[in-house]
Amino acid sequence: MFKMKKAMLQALLFSAFAVVSPLQAIADETPIIRYADRFVPIIAKNGMVASQEAIATKVGVDILKQGGNAVDAAVAVGFALAVTFPQAGNIGGGGFMMVHLAKDNKTIAIDYREMAPAAAHRDLYLDENGDVDNRRARFSHQSAGVPGTVAGLIHALENYGTMTLKQVIAPAVALAEDGFTLAYSLESSLLARKERLSRNPAAKKALFKPDGSHYQFGETLKQPDLAQTLKAIRDKGFDGFYKGSVADLIVKEMKANDGLITHKDLENYKVVEREAIKGSYKGYDVLTMPPPSSGGVHIVQMMNMLENDNLKDLGHNSAASLHLMIEAMRQAYADRSEYLGDPDYFDVPIKELIDKKYAAKLRTQIPNKKARKSEEVKPALDVTPESPDTTHFSVMDNEGNAVSNTYTLNFSYGSHIMVSGAGFLLNNEMDDFSAKVGVANAYGLLGAEANAIEAGKRPLSSMTPTLVLKDGKAFMATGSPGGSTIITVVLQVLMNALEHEMNVAAATYAPRIHHQWYPDRILVEPGISADTKALLEAWGHNLDNRRRTIGSTQSIQFRDGFFYGASDSRRHGALTLGY
C-alpha cells in the first residue's frame, strides 16, 4: 500500500515538474530535498554558478557551456562583476579563491589579498594625538592596499583554467564598453551612495549621468574608461594592470592625493598559493581559506567545538544549540584578536587553533544554560606565539571541479575613490589592519601585534570561501560578504547543511545570529522565535534584535549527480543558474 502510494506520488510529481530533478532525490530518499523543506534550491545537471549579480552569473554559465571549466567560469564571473557589481566586484581590490581540481584530487587556496604599500607603517593612521584618523584609514587614497584581484584571477586562469584570458575577459569588456541594463539592486545601491561617490569626480563621471543624477532601473550604464583598462589587461595580462598606462594612472592618482602606492608597489604585487585549512566534520572534509584570512581557522575551530554535541538533536536554532554556537563564536573571535594576521609576517599558530584537542578543552569551559561575559573569555592557547561590500561566488562544473571565491573592496564601493581615467574604484582594505591596539576597526574587530600595519603585509580578513568534500569529491561551495559576520554566516550555512541535513536553499534562508566577542552582544535576525530568544536572555545572553540581515551567501552542492544551488534571499539581484 505504502509502495503504491509512493509510486503514484512520484508519477504525479514527475508529470507536474518534468524538468525538475529533485524528484530523483525524492525517489532515492536522499535527505537533500525532503517533503518538509519549505525551500527548494535551483537544480541543474551540467554545472552551476551562484553569484550576487545575475548578468555575471549568466556570463559564468555561458563559459561552462562553451566547455570552460569551473576556474574559467569563475575568472569570467570575477571580471564581469567588476563591471556589473561595482559595490564589491572589482579590479581595484583583492580576495581569496579556493579551487578543487577533481583530476588531481587537489585543493588550492589562492591568496590575492591587497598588500600594504612600502610606505605604510604601524602608526600610519594615528593623528598628532595618537588617535586613529578613521577618515584617512577608510575614505582616503591612503586607505588603499595594492590591489590583488587582477593578479589573482590571472594566476588562477593560467594555472588551473583551460581558456585564454582573452576569452574569459571578453564578456566583461563588452559589458563595460556596450553597457548593461540596470537592475533594481544597482539602482538602489548607487542611489544610497550617491552623495559620497559624487564627491570623487572620477566616480561621479563613471557611475552617474552627466547631470549628476543616478541611472535607473532599465537604463544602460556604459563604463568606457573601465573598458580601456580591461582591454589593457586582456592584451598584456599582469603587465596590463601593474605596469604601463594603467599603473601610470594609479600612481598619478596617488601622487596627486597624498596616496602611498608607487610603481614599485604595483610591480611587486604577489599572488600566494597557500596550504588550505583542512578540518573534518562528521565524515565531511572542510577545506577553507588560511591566513591572512581568519575565516578558515575559526570555521574549523568552531566546528570542532560543536562536533560532539549533536546539535541536530538539540534542534536547529533552538536556544540550546544557539547557546553552544554563540559561546564557540565568542571564543573564536577572542582568539582571532590575538593570534591571527598575515602568516608571512606573524607566526600564526594554525595547527594549535584547529586542533580537536584544543576545541575539546574549550568546550569544557562552556557553561550549561549560562552565557559567559566576553571579559571572562580570553584568547586561550597555551602557546605564546613568537614574533613580534565584499561579494562571493561559487562555481561547479561537470568534471567535479569547484571554485569558491570571495573578493572585495572592503566597504561597499571601497574608499569611494576612483582612479581617474582608469574607471575602477580603490579598495579601503587598509582599515582591516589593527590601526592601534585596543581600537576596533569598522567592523568592531579588535586586533594587536599580529595584525599591526607593516610595509608589504596583508591585512587580516574575515573572508571565508569554503569547499566541502565528501569522499574526496567536491560536495559544497559556499561563502558570503558581511565583514566580521562572514565567518559566523559560513559556519551556520555549513552546520545547517552538514549537521541539520538541510538542502542548500533551506540552509541559506534559515535565520542567522552573530557574535564576535566584542561588542558583547548577539545580532539576531528576524525569524528566531520569541521563545528561543527568551530562553537565551534568561541564560544571560545579550541580544540585539534591531531588524537587520546578516550575510549574503552563494552556495552550490553536488550530490547524487545533480547540482543544487541557492543565492541568498537577503539581498536583491543575485542569481544561481545551472544548465
Residues that bind ligand DON (CB under 6 A): 389-390, 408, 410, 429, 432, 461-463, 481-483, 486
Which one, 165 or 486, has the nearer CB to ligand DON? 486
Shortest Å, Cβ 157 to ligand DON: 23
Which one, 461 or 532, has the nearer CB to ligand DON? 461
Cα–Cα dist 453/459, whole Å: 8
Helix (H) or strand (E) run with residue 281 in it: strand 277-281
Q: In terms of Cα–Cα distance, which of 510, 501, 499 is closest to 553?
A: 510
Shortest Å, Cβ 441 to ligand DON: 9
Which one, 240 or 551, has the nearer CB to ligand DON? 551
Which one, 100 or 392, has the nearer CB to ligand DON? 392
Which one, 60 or 483, has the nearer CB to ligand DON? 483
Shortest Å, Cβ 109 to ligand DON: 15
Shortest Å, Cβ 410 to ligand DON: 4
Shortest Å, Cβ 484 to ligand DON: 7
DSSP letters for 554-565: EEEEEETTEEEE
Choosing from 57, 107, 262, 390, which is the catalytic residue?
A: 390
Which one, 25 or 120, has the nearer CB to ligand DON? 120
Reply yes or no: is the peptide bond before residue 117 cis, omega within 30 of 0: no
Cα–Cα dist 20/17, whole Å: 5
Cα–Cα dist 477/286, whole Å: 10
Which one, 423 or 482, has the nearer CB to ligand DON? 482
Strand, helix or coil at 126?
strand
Integer CA distances (angstroms), 428 to 135, 285, 412, in order = 10, 34, 10
- Please check whether residue 505 is in contact with residue 576, taking contact to mean a CB–CB distance below 8 angstroms: no
**Is 262 noted as a catalytic residue in this protein?**
no
CA atoms within 13 A on the CB side of 484: 27
Which one, 161 or 447, has the nearer CB to ligand DON? 447
- Please check whether residue 297 is in contact with residue 277, taking contact to mean a CB–CB distance below 8 angstroms: yes
Shortest Å, Cβ 443 to ligand DON: 7
Question: Within a 10 A sphere around the Cβ of 344, how many other Cβ atoms?
Answer: 17
Which one, 193 or 363, has the nearer CB to ligand DON? 193
- Please check whether residue 93 is in contact with residue 112, taking contact to mean a CB–CB distance below 8 angstroms: no
Angle at 155 between CA 484 and CA 206, to 5 degrees: 65
Q: Which residues of 383-418 are buried (b: 16+ CB within 10 A; e: fewer)?
A: eebeeebbbbbbbbbbebbbbbbbbbbbbbbbbbbb
Handedness of CA 106, 112, 118, 124 (dihedral sign): negative
Residue closest to ligand DON, measured at CB: 390
Shortest Å, Cβ 61 to ligand DON: 25
Shortest Å, Cβ 97 to ligand DON: 14
Handedness of CA 476, 287, 145, 350 (dihedral sign): positive
Shortest Å, Cβ 514 to ligand DON: 13
Q: Measured in whole angstroms, how far is the alpha carbon of residue 450 from the centre of its chain? A: 22
Angle at 455 between CA 158 and CA 86, to 5 degrees: 55
Question: Within a 10 A sphere around the Cβ of 60, how many other Cβ atoms?
Answer: 33
State the cell numbers at 470: 565528501
Which one, 401 or 516, has the nearer CB to ligand DON? 516
Q: Which residues of 65-94 are buried (b: 16+ CB within 10 A; e: fewer)?
A: eeebbbbbbbbbbbbbbbbbbbbbbbbbbb
Q: In terms of Cα–Cα distance, which of 465, 468, 466 is closest to 559?
A: 468
DSSP letters for 484-496: GGHHHHHHHHHII
Shortest Å, Cβ 244 to ligand DON: 28
Task: Kindly list the catalytic residues.
Answer: 390
